[in-house]
Amino acid sequence: MQARYPLAAALAWACLASGAQAQVRIGFMGELSGPQAMLGQDMYDGFMLAVEQEGGKLGGIPVAIVRRDSQLKPEVATQIADELIEREKVALVAGMTFSNVAMAVTRKFAAAQVFMVSGNAGPSPTAGSACSPFFFSAAKQNDQFAEASGTYARQQGYARVIALAPNYQAGKDFVAGFKRNYGQPLADEIYTPLAQLDFSAEITRIAAARPDAVYAFYPGANGVAFVRAYGQAGLLGKIPLLTNAAADGTNLPALKEAALGVFNSSNWGPDLPNAENRQFVAAFEAKYGRIPSEYAAQSYDSARLIGSALKATGGKVDDKQALGKALRAADFKSVRGNFRFNTNNYPIQDFYMFVAARDAQGRVSLKTVSKPLSDAKDSFHAQCRMS
């Protein structure tokens, strides 16, 4: 009997004969629209740079990336999770820009034995009491950036500090982290709606209080609006502004000179002096025409982490125990330098304080000031009882 599709049959046989591998399907879920799209886009660009550098592979294994926009809506994220699990049959999910979205889908992916490799979100429950063998952070636990800022504020001797953040999981985590390492009561805590872009009332409140310093966690468009308002009120240069996400690599292109002198703590900066980072920054700038952010760097590392696991397992993703063990080994070179996993699948790594300053090309970028935390473990790992 003659085959109905001789060409298709011949191609299929050729693939089998040559030992061609099937693609491993990987979901990428991030905020890719709305005011916070710059964060998700930088993460996606960083992730895809790693894929493209290997010619559509990770760890030598062909991969198919299924990109989805969670729109900063947990209810949308849960629908996407169902789609990725049931229809797309993904083995792993990367991305995860915001913690409220990550929290909405963590249990669903774990129940389906789909590994989550977060490139940014690090909500405290997933590092502690709600840790899971199917959740890995290639980024940090939310509190840690803030813990670095709190350590720096204590080292500088700031006696009165006001903290501001959006009123959601990550915002509360960041302020809690700052307080933990700052070690003394705050002069004030201000929580604002997640979508708020007008900070005139809060700036007036800060000006009247005249603190020694201000700590602010505002990602994306919120950070641009806050830093601009702070500068326009004449506070920048008078009251030191310590931030997380407000003056990072995603916001500096919009803020430009308005960000000069603003501090930002992070686990990564473009001037970190290691070979992997120099290669990454050069490749990212060549491809996208901009300086990468910590979001891009963490997401690039998450792709390389996944690649190391796929290489170790030969692309076999059905053996969940073997894949999880390979992820925990973290056998890749991070753009951050020091990187290894703790018992809760969160990194042990260094954290730095940066300041927005001009680089050698005259661009506004981040310059390393100090390293407040070395080989730091998150504050929740002892609560993790990994099953």
- Is the separation of the CB atoms in 181 and 145 below 8 Å? no
Domains and CATH numbers, the chain: 8-140+273-341 (3.40.50.2300), 143-266+351-376 (3.40.50.2300)
In b/e form, how buried is each residue of 183-215, taking b as 16+ CB within 10 angstroms?
A: eeebbbbbebebeeeebeebbeebeeeebebbb
Q: Kind and range of the H or E element at 45?
A: helix 37-53
Tell me the pLDDT band of 20, cut-offs 50, 70 and 90: low
Structure tokens at 261: 């002198």
**Could you tell me the pTM of the whole model?**
0.90
The 10s digit of each residue's pLDDT in 204-238 is 999 999 999 999 999 989 999 999 999 999 999 99
The 10s digit of each residue's pLDDT in 326-371 is 999 999 999 999 999 999 999 999 999 999 999 999 999 999 999 9
The answer to whether residue 13 scores a pLDDT higher than 70 is no
Nearest-angstrom CA–CA distance, 173 and 125? 10
The answer to whether residue 14 scores a pLDDT higher than 50 is no
Q: What pLDDT is recorded for position 387?
A: 55
